[in-house]
Structure 1
Amino acid sequence: MTDLPPFSDLSPAALEAEQHDRATLRVWLRRLALRVAARLLPDYTAAVLAHRYLCSAKGLLDDPALHRYGFEVVQIAPDCALLRKPGAGPQAPRVLIVPGHDGHFRQFARLLHALEAQGAACDMLVLPGHLHGHFSECALNDIVEAIRLAGLQHGPYDGLAAHCLSASAALLAMDAGLRCPRVAMISAVLDVRHLVTLGARQYGISGRCLQRFLDRLDARSAPYVMDTPWRPVATEREEDILLLHARSDYAAPFEQVESFETLCPTARLSAWDNLGHNGILGSRAAMEEVAAFLTRPAIRPGNWPAHLQTARNDAPPDQKKTGPSPEGPAVPRP
């Protein structure tokens, strides 16, 4: 039998292959342990995975690139903040940007550049659980509440751009009373259950453990459960809405946004080929389209469309559209 060469004599390619094999073995063992735990302790395993799914390891306020981007940090709640970039003067259009869950401001460099070219002032929302990466939870209700809070404290905004799950949250926030004349929904997740089930499949769980996982996420996101109907909300929208979507989006089926455009009389779908769910944010042409939609022409509160004049964020409750007030529903955090 041929002896193996000493470890120090292995070529870089052989070392890399050995390290890859070890990493592959570790991944396989972790997945095996998870499958065993899911079968023997489905409730406990579901609770642990649901907590992990809702947490983000990203600490955006601790990122060294924060200051290179020229952001001013504006705290709006103990676990929520805005990253602010000034516009070209006091009359500059104001835009609120909402990254998706576990999103990062680096993903929006193209959009920020395009908005800056339009002279817009930008506020980027840092979602709960994303400030310092302390593994605190951020569920759908937290995102809705954060968007609502930003609008109440620092609105009105001329435009709003939201990505992934936050696009669905923005829709729910508008239904709860938030008003913004133009909204760009980028890679909008309308079927939340589909997205969550994809995440569960990555964990490799099924059966009772999967059901407990879904139940826990529903309970944590209440009152905005995964199956909250979005079609009735779409038919009632009066804002100008741009649906920017990749045809091959794996996380948010394209057919759903096609249905949204059909149901919403003020929505326009911009479909993109050869881009993905997150990759669309890196397309200069796509982000320039979003920036142009949100800022041209700039819409100030005094000349908002008539149907939104009676629904200003700071209008008295009796002047707002019938439905949940912008002060609620307040969703308590555990």
Structure 2
Amino acid sequence: MTTTPANPAAAFYAGSRVVQGLGFALRALHSMAPALSTRAALRLFFTPLPWKFAMRRAVPAPWATQAWAFEGTQLIAYRRSDVSPGAPVVLLVHGWAGSGLQMRAIGDALAHAGMDPVLLDFPAHGRSGGWRSTLPQFARAIYAAVSRLGPLHGVVAHSLGALAALHSAAQGLPVGHLVLVAPSPPPRLFLNWFASSFGLAPVVSERMAARIEVVEGTPLQQFEPDWLGERIQQPTLVVHDQGDRVAPHAASQRLVQALANAALHTTSGLSHTRVLGDPAVAVSVLRHLLPSEH
């Protein structure tokens, strides 16, 4: 059985030599100018790596793009042209350094079942504008999508997008059902892992967290399972692979315990991203989202 590393952030960033070089520079900067090193660490933390160009994929028919204005730039969404008018709308969102088209296998399954799936590229991801983004901005992008789409039958969200979807639902997002695939651990914990993966002192992650709360105006406590669990009543399916090396399976176990109406579907051998293309996972998601008349 695959075990989760002590620091999942190290697994996430280990593949980039550029990031490792930046980590060396951050440590050197911290020894000379701690405040400046905190700002530099935040810029790195807010920059999706690999860059969005690496995640861009051809848009296959019958999917087509739509552009929506958002916070001085634009969001790109993908919607099928063969969906019947009035079909239940399901928003599908990706995780950090991902793209909306990663969710296409699940989206196609939903469309074949008579629903209207909409795939969204978050800011600084895929074809959307921008180069840096944050978790609170992910949540605002979900609200922006709802302003265009109207109340949602469901949201299917992966990794960091799952935390954004949870936070949006806790704040009153009009959505009937939630599906969380490989949800990320709370951001304060990941900040600790991020700093540790580059050999930075714990005080750096503490300063980063404080700065995020000031700039974004959102307490990071609002992304913790206990805070979310008190505010979410929607039927929720959590899908997570037990060998996930980026987002520990234990985070989903804790999340399901905190939520009032949640079930955990554990997979094996699918990792953090392959779970999105697994046919059995698509069937599980479909069963959770099927309208009652089906």
Cα drift, residue 281 of structure 1: 1.4
- The equivalences for 1:1-334 within 5 A come to 31-56=23-48, 57-59=51-53, 63=56, 65-66=58-59, 70-77=63-70, 78-130=73-125, 136-225=131-220, 228-297=223-292
- The runs of 5 or more residues in structure 1 that have no matched partner are 1-23, 300-334
Amino acid at match of 1:247: Q
Cα drift, residue 50 of structure 1: 0.7
Provide the C-alpha distance between the structure 1 equivalents of 2:17 and 2:244, rounded to a whole number of angstroms. Answer: 31
Provide the C-alpha distance between the structure 2 equivalents of 1:262 and 1:79, rounded to a whole number of angstroms. Answer: 37
Corresponding residue SS for 1:280? helix
Cα drift, residue 142 of structure 1: 0.9
Farther off after superposition, 89-98 or 193-202: 193-202
RMSD between superposed Cα atoms in Å? 3.1
Farther off after superposition, 142-151 or 234-243: 234-243
Provide the C-alpha distance between the structure 2 equivalents of 1:28 and 1:82, rounded to a whole number of angstroms. Answer: 32
Q: How far does the alpha carbon of each residue in 1:180-226 deviate from its partner, in whole angstroms, 9 at most, with x for none?
A: 11110111124222223333333332244343333333433431425
- Give the TM-score normalised by structure 2: 0.80
Count of residues in correspondence between the two structures: 275
Provide the C-alpha distance between the structure 2 equivalents of 1:220 and 1:295, rounded to a whole number of angstroms. Answer: 39
Provide the C-alpha distance between the structure 1 equivalents of 2:128 and 2:146, rounded to a whole number of angstroms. Answer: 24
Residue 310 of structure 1 corresponds to which residue in structure 2?
none
Does the 8 Å CA contact 1:168/1:188 hold for their aligned counterparts?
Answer: yes
Corresponding residue SS for 2:152? coil
Does the 8 Å CA contact 1:80/1:131 hold for their aligned counterparts?
Answer: no
Provide the C-alpha distance between the structure 2 equivalents of 1:86 and 1:297, rounded to a whole number of angstroms. Answer: 25
Does the 8 Å CA contact 1:55/1:135 hold for their aligned counterparts?
Answer: no
Farther off after superposition, 111-120 or 206-215: 206-215
Q: How far does the alpha carbon of each residue in 1:25-46 deviate from its partner, in whole angstroms, 9 at most, with x for none?
A: 9988665444322222222122
